[in-house]
Structure 1
């Protein structure tokens, strides 16, 4: 899996990481929901490990395709992945 540096992410993704670390508030009610990793594109972990968060898309009134998925305890951003195609591909976020 490829990686992307935090500095290379869109500004909206950096803001989403900040919100995750702060524990919210998040712009969408679906933020923080369980991500099942059913396609096993991310490393295997027990159910409940991963949670998904929306990355806003400029000009869109909907949630769009971009997400950040983080694993581990809430407010942790050390095991996070970015997708801009609604979970088809992921890049590990490197701090």
Structure 2
């Protein structure tokens, strides 16, 4: 974003110059994709479980994902997105990999997204 545009946003909208707030102000664009075949094996397994409705290994799997970073398209309800852990071999914690799916029916999502950096970026999962 150019300096002049930043100054206008700061002056008009009362925003600070921090990149996080500037990013939140702008509509997100999600152009990166990943095919199901490109997912790690654990991601493909989790995607299968999502469509089967579980069972899930972690208590937090299937909980509402708030999309507070606004990196995903806006959902139709507050509970539109749900997150699922993609196991990382050799890591004892849940790790950073997740699949986040949106839709009104968790076992029949409208779209799913993969992140391997704990929500810093997402790629839409395509067939």
Into which bin does the TM-score normalised by the smaller protein fall? over 0.9
Cα distance, 1:48 vs structure 2: 0.5
Alignment counterpart, residue 47 of structure 1, candidates 78, 83, 88: 78
Which 10-residue stretch deviates more, 69-78 or 26-35?
69-78
Cα distance, 1:8 vs structure 2: 0.5
User: What is the TM-score normalised by the length of structure 2?
Assistant: 0.72
Which runs of no fewer than 5 residues in structure 2 stay unpaired? 1-29
Alignment counterpart, residue 36 of structure 1, candidates 46, 53, 66: 66
1:18 counterpart SS class: helix
Q: Which residue of 2 aligns with 1:18?
A: 48
2:49 counterpart SS class: helix
2:93 counterpart SS class: coil
Q: Which residue of 1 aligns with 2:115?
A: 83
Which has a greater percent of strand?
1
Cα distance, 1:77 vs structure 2: 4.2
Count of matched residue positions in the alignment of Structure 1 and Structure 2:
95
Runs of 4 or more, structure 1, over 6 Å off, are: none
CA distance in 2, matches of 1:78, 1:58: 28
Which runs of no fewer than 5 residues in structure 1 stay unpaired? none
Q: Determine which structure has more spread, i.e. the larger CA radius of gyration.
A: 2
Q: Larger RCO: Structure 1 or Structure 2 (Cα < 8 Å, ≥ 6 residues apart)?
A: 1
